[in-house]
Structures are given as structure tokens and as C-alpha cells.
Structure 1
Amino acid sequence: MSTAPQQTARPVGFAILSILLGMVGWFASFELLTEYIKTLQSPAHVPNCNISVLVTCGPNMGSWQGSILGFSNTIIGVSAFVAPIAVGVALLAGARFMAWFWRLYQLGLFGGFVLVGWLQFQSIFALGTLCPWCMVAWVAMIPLWWSGLIHPFAAGSIPLSARGRRFFRSLNSWVWVIVLINLFIIAAVAQFQLNWFAEFARG
């Protein structure tokens, strides 16, 4: 049974989704970066994402969790979210990537997914805040990971047995359900820990 790559037509939907999610994540990271710079320039500056005691980004930006590599995490976001945009544009232009490229891309997405998950935990349980721009980046990163994990297998970009490819092609149609479940779990954990629904209800 052959396991050679058997790519289908251009994955227009996947490409457009990658571009849009990358742009959303990049914009959120850029907004956080500009607000961080303004705060450094003027400590009295109130970031545009400081909505309330619970919904704010100030504590996140000023914490050690906000600079885990010694510099602001926003720099990571502004740099990393360019990748899905570039991949999406290349796919729309007709590019065909080798299996090793997709594996590296998946590894990068997994790193982003793990980082976002860690930041979610820190934000909810350690800092006790919900950063608006951070949450926008989370919402972009989560579907990027799940779609980037499943699509290359489903499209035949990474070689699999016929049975394995059928499995991922079937799973590919349920990506949006997986994403919604992932987001629901995060929202539920935040609700139990921070009671964010009451905060928004008061607003």
C-alpha cells in the first residue's frame, strides 16, 4: 500500500483561513506591543485594553509571565503570526510544500498552542485577569493549531496509509467542532475561577 504524498487541488479554504487567523493574531499582538511600548514611555499611560479590574492587560504585560524569554511576549506574537499568513498566501499562489515542511510547520503551531495554553493558565489562575487582546490571539491560535494539525494529513501533504488518510479526511470536517470544544473548555474554566460572566453582565 503506497504512502506517497497524494495532494489534491489547491486548498483555498485552508489557505484563506490561515491568512485571516494569522492577520487576527498579528493585529492583536501588534496592539499589545504598541500598548506595551506606550507604557514603557509613560508609566501613567492607561492601555486601551484596561476595561476593568478583571478585563485588563496591564498586569499581564507587567508580569514575568508576559516576558518569559526576557522580552515581551508580544514580539513573539508579531513575529510568529506572520508564518500562517505567508503559508496561506503561498498556497493560494499554487505552492506545494514537502512533507518535512508541514511537519516543521506543525511543530511551530504546536509550540504556539502550548505557549497560549500556558498563558491561559497563568492568566486565569495566577494573575486573575482576562486580557482582551491576549484572548483575541488565543482565538486565532487555537483554530490555527487544529486546522494545521489535521489538514496536511487529510490533504495527503504528509504521507499516510489509505486508512490513515481517510481518518484525517473525516476528522477534517469536524475541525470547527474541535475548536469550539476547546474554546468552551477555556471559557468554562475561566468562569469557574473568575466568574467572568458576572463581570460582563454588570458591564
Structure 2
Amino acid sequence: MSTSEQSSRAPHRGTAIEMAISGVIGLCASFVLSIEAWQLASDDGRRFSCDVSSVLSCSAVASTPQARVLGFPNAFLGIFFEAIVLAVSFALIAGVRFPKWYILCVEALYTIGVLFAYWLFTQSYFVIHVLCPWCLLITVTTTLVWFGLTRVCIKQGVLPAPNWWKAVMESGGDWLVAVLVITAILAMIAFRYGPLLFG
């Protein structure tokens, strides 16, 4: 492999490793939520270790209609999305270059996933007024994976991007945007609930 090929693959590999780590964390959280959903189905009065307070409560969120948008626990969708991104991430780490149509389909699918995650967050924040710690973790990991996948798509020419944004990506500025988005979410939670989170 030439030096130029190694240098061109290095950014993808680093991004793919970040995606894989985030995907593994998100997959574990989805598995936990899936198990708890089944346990809650058999005992609707059950409480879990993540039921920290009246504001942070997995079981309270899992008992709402928003937790079963398609008629089954949303966590099953999380397992599906994370499994896809993990397969892609490990392939990218191995140096696989996917056809444009394939990686574009993965990007479109995961965009639906990240929008769904943020819709669930807004439902918890503005409608249910209770937050699920595992769901928040999935929102964070989904955000990181989406930014990573979008970076790969732009670098491979699958998605168009203006030169200024490409320059921002080269300096790592897109990761700063991801961190700012996550920080904004945490700030919203802290501003609204503050001491109630653990009280």
C-alpha cells in the first residue's frame, strides 16, 4: 500500500473506530432497554436501577406510548441501527471502501435513526417530563455515530459539501459541532431540572 493510500485511509479508520466505540455503547444500552422492556411487560410495577429520581426514570418512560411507536419497544430499533453501524464501522477499520449507493443508503437510514432519537428526547423533555438515562446515552452515541458517518460520506464524495465545511472537517471542527450539540442537550436538562435530577 502506498503512502498516499495510507494517509487517505487514516482519517476514515480513526472515524470508524470512534463510530465502532459509540456503536458498541449504544448497542449495550439498547440491549439493557430491551431486557427491561420485557420485564416491565410482565410486571408493570417493576422498578429498575436506572430509576434514579422522579425525573430520571427508565421505567416511567418505558410505560408511555412513545416507548412503543411501532407497537414494540423502541430499543429493538436501537439494536437494529447499531448492528448496521457496527458492521459498517468494522469494515471501514479493515479498509473496505463501500460502493457509493451502499454507504449513502446507510447514511439515509442512520439519519432516520438520529432524527428518531431526537424526537424521543423532545417527547421526554417537553411532553413526558421524565428522562431515561439509557435513552440519553443512546442519543449521545447516535449523535457521534451520525457525525462520523457523515464525515466518511463527505470524504468519499458520497455527499456534497462546500469547501468551507471540508476545511472545517480537516481541522476536526465537525467534532466540535457534535460536542456542542451534546453539550446543549445536557445544558437543557440541567437548566430545566437541576437538583431534581438526583433528588
| 1:123 alignment partner in structure 2 | 124
Taking a change above 3 Å as real, the CA distance of residues 159 and 51 of structure 1, as seen in their structure-2 partners, is closer
Distance 1:148 1:78 in 2: 17
Distance 1:48 1:79 in 2: 25
Distance 1:198 1:191 in 2: 8
Distance 2:178 2:159 in 1: 25
1:56-109 alpha-carbon deviations (Å, 9 max, x no partner): 011211111001111110110111111111011111222111111121111112
| 2:136 alignment partner in structure 1 | 135
Runs of 4+ displaced beyond 3 Å? 163-167
Deviation of 1:174 (Å) = 1.1
Letter of the aligned partner of 1:31 in structure 2? V
Letter of the aligned partner of 2:176 in structure 1? V
- 5+ long unaligned stretches in structure 1: 1-6
| 2:4 alignment partner in structure 1 | none
| 1:188 alignment partner in structure 2 | 187
Letter of the aligned partner of 2:51 in structure 1? N
| 1:108 alignment partner in structure 2 | 109
Letter of the aligned partner of 1:90 in structure 2? A
Please tell me whether the aligned partners of residues 18 and 87 of structure 1 are also in contact (alpha carbons under 8 angstroms).
Answer: no
Aligned partner of residue 14 in structure 2, secondary structure: helix
1:130-173 alpha-carbon deviations (Å, 9 max, x no partner): 1111011011001111221123212x34275xx84674253251
Deviation of 1:187 (Å) = 2.1
Taking a change above 3 Å as real, the CA distance of residues 182 and 129 of structure 1, as seen in their structure-2 partners, is same
Whether 2:166 is the aligned partner of 1:168: answer yes
| 1:89 alignment partner in structure 2 | 90
Higher helix proportion, which one? 2
Please tell me whether the aligned partners of residues 28 and 136 of structure 1 are also in contact (alpha carbons under 8 angstroms).
Answer: yes
Distance 1:145 1:91 in 2: 15
Please tell me whether the aligned partners of residues 19 and 89 of structure 1 are also in contact (alpha carbons under 8 angstroms).
Answer: yes
Whether 2:97 is the aligned partner of 1:99: answer no
Please tell me whether the aligned partners of residues 123 and 129 of structure 1 are also in contact (alpha carbons under 8 angstroms).
Answer: yes
Distance 2:22 2:35 in 1: 20
| Corresponding residue pairs, total | 191
| 2:54 alignment partner in structure 1 | 53
Q: What is the TM-score with the length of structure 1 in the denominator?
A: 0.85
Aligned partner of residue 81 in structure 1, secondary structure: helix
Taking a change above 3 Å as real, the CA distance of residues 151 and 165 of structure 1, as seen in their structure-2 partners, is farther
